[in-house]
Amino acid sequence: MDPSRITSVAEARRLAARAVPRALFDYVDGAADDELTRARNEAAFRAVGFRPRMAAAAGEPRLGIELFGRALSLPVLLAPCGLVTALHPDGAAGVARAARSRRTVAVLSAVAGASPERVAASLGGGDRPLWYQLYAPGGRAEWEPLIDRAAAAGYEVLMVTVDTPALGNRERDRRNGFTGSMRVRPRGAVRLAGQVAARPGWALRMGRSALADRRNPDPGGPTVGLVAAGGSPFTWDDIAAMADRWDGPVVVKGVLGAADARCALDAGAGGIVVSNHGGRQLDGAPATLDVLPDVVAEVARSVPVLLDSGVRRGSDVVKAMAMGAAAVLVGRPYLYALAVAGTAGVERLLDVLRADLTRTLTLLGCPGVDDLDLDWLDTGPPAAG
Ligand SMILES: Cc1cc2nc3c(=O)[nH]c(=O)nc-3n(C[C@H](O)[C@H](O)[C@H](O)COP(=O)(O)O)c2cc1C
């Protein structure tokens, strides 16, 4: 599909629903249980307004940031996501190329469906913004060799996801006949076959790519067997041991409060991602924007605090950064775009978010993301008393 048809995240979502089989769209779009936390994430952004200033700033606002010594052209990173290879043949390597071409970072999920070596090699020579996200259902015996492989392949930052000691209850996936390990039950297979037949473009692209993969198999194979019902439990001792072993920043993803932010810092984390996994894990967990101020206060600028879950527009990026986030990550927005138009779709999505961010800052009268603070926000009437 023509990537220029992506004009917003909402439009990318609408187009994605028509591009891939329904069960795959549901896997991306869905969340846990009643999807309350997923709804809360977006509602929390809507509840915050702006306090614009007029006739103040001139020229293009500054969007660039520096994160772990790397200059990024915008404060939006691509979150680690499993099974990206099923959405479009461009897969995880295509996402990494899109991020590099827009001078940002894509974090490779341990269950993306492509090995860290293959994705690193696909970027060829030159600058390689490589971050690796770890799951290790098998504990230390599994994570030690995995992080050594990621280091040898040139990954700079290790992101450890701590909110998946078990897999969330994704009811859409159950309805579609997927088991916890994302295998399809026989009844689901029949329905899936019908859905695939209804998306011949996707089926043809994926079929061709499966043949090409056979001729040129990924030597590292997928890194971790899918995180099945057992999940990937980690302890703070594991994080401390990883921080000792990994020669670079270890970023802890999935923190939702000051106490856990403190545990992460004590374990040697070099960064924190305030995340509820896009509402896909514990339904009823708080919206990330609501807990961000507590985490930022606890961390007190000692390490960067990033945020994800519910970021859909440039204005959301501005709100999170005004509340102290160093940058944000997006998950579903780029997955929709990948499903629509592969690498070009992800590039287009990043361009749309960049334009959105530029427009929001210009209308706000703010000269750059580095100027953002709470004074730019309207967070509601002051408490009485
Ligand atoms: C389809 C899908 C797969 C995901 N897989 C992973 C994963 O493998 N590892 C991980 O840490 N987070 C995973 N996440 C969570 C994302 O990294 C991120 O936290 C979340 O998508 C942010 O919310 P958003 O989708 O509202 O932007 C996944 C999210 C989606 C939508």
Give the integer Cα–Cα distance in Å for 305 and 297. Answer: 10
Residue 385 within any structural domain of the chain: no
Nearest one of 186, 202, 283 to 25, comparing CA atoms = 202
> Residue 294 C-alpha to ligand 1 middle, in angstroms?
23
Please give the C-alpha separations between residue 171 and each of 27, 179, 193, in angstroms, as whole numbers: 10, 10, 20
Q: What is the pLDDT of residues 267-325, one digit of tens each?
A: 999 999 999 999 999 999 999 999 999 999 999 999 999 999 999 999 999 999 999 99
Average pLDDT value for residue range 79-108: 96
Residue 268's CATH number: 3.20.20.70
Nearest one of 75, 22, 86, 74 to 342, comparing CA atoms = 86
Write out the residue range of the structural domain in which residue 354 sits. Answer: 3-378
Active-site residue flag, 277: yes
The DSSP secondary-structure symbol of 178 reads: B
The CA-based angle 45-46-49, given to 5 degrees, is: 90
- Alpha carbons within 13 A on the beta-carbon side of 247: 8
Q: What is the pLDDT of residues 120-151, one digit of tens each?
A: 999 998 889 999 999 998 899 999 999 999 99
Residue 109 CA: which ligand 1 atom is closest?
Answer: 8
Nearest one of 368, 260, 264 to 321, comparing CA atoms = 368
Give the integer Cα–Cα distance in Å for 12 and 270. Answer: 33
Residue 224 within any structural domain of the chain: yes
Residue 34 within any structural domain of the chain: yes
Specify the pLDDT at position 218: 87
CB of residue 40 inside a 6 A radius of ligand 1:
no
Q: Whose CA is nearest to atom 6 of ligand 1?
A: 81
Residue 289 within any structural domain of the chain: yes
Q: How many domains would you assign to the chain?
A: 1
pLDDT confidence bin for 204, thresholds 50/70/90: very high
Whether the per-residue pLDDT at 226 is higher than 60: the answer is: no
- Catalytic choice (277, 313, 319, 348): 277
Give the integer Cα–Cα distance in Å for 265 and 241. Answer: 13
- Residue of 108, 277, 312, 336 with the most ligand 1 atoms within 8 Å of its CB, for mutation: 277
Instruction: Give the strand pairing for 65-67 and 327-330.
Output: unpaired
Residue 27 CA: which ligand 1 atom is closest?
Answer: 1
> Residue 58 C-alpha to ligand 1 middle, in angstroms?
37
Q: Whose CA is nearest to atom 15 of ligand 1?
A: 277
Residue 383 within any structural domain of the chain: no
Whether the per-residue pLDDT at 11 is higher than 80: the answer is: yes
CB of residue 227 inside a 6 A radius of ligand 1:
no
Contact between 102 and 343 under an 8 Å Cβ cutoff? The reply is: no
Average pLDDT value for residue range 30-42: 98
Whether the per-residue pLDDT at 230 is higher than 80: the answer is: no
CB of residue 338 inside a 6 A radius of ligand 1:
no
Residue 57 within any structural domain of the chain: yes
Please give the C-alpha separations between residue 335 and each of 121, 197, 343, in angstroms, as whole numbers: 22, 21, 10
Mean pLDDT over the full length of the chain: 93
| Helix, strand, coil percentages for the chain (3-state, nearest 5) | 45, 10, 40
CB of residue 330 inside a 6 A radius of ligand 1:
yes
Nearest one of 37, 137, 145, 20 to 84, comparing CA atoms = 20
Nearest one of 80, 51, 94, 1 to 332, comparing CA atoms = 80
Residue 69 within any structural domain of the chain: yes
Residue 197 within any structural domain of the chain: yes
Q: Whose CA is nearest to atom 1 of ligand 1?
A: 28
> Residue 246 C-alpha to ligand 1 middle, in angstroms?
23
CB of residue 21 inside a 6 A radius of ligand 1:
no
Task: Among 121-125, 188-192, 343-347, name the most confident range.
Answer: 343-347
Residue 38 CA: which ligand 1 atom is closest?
Answer: 26
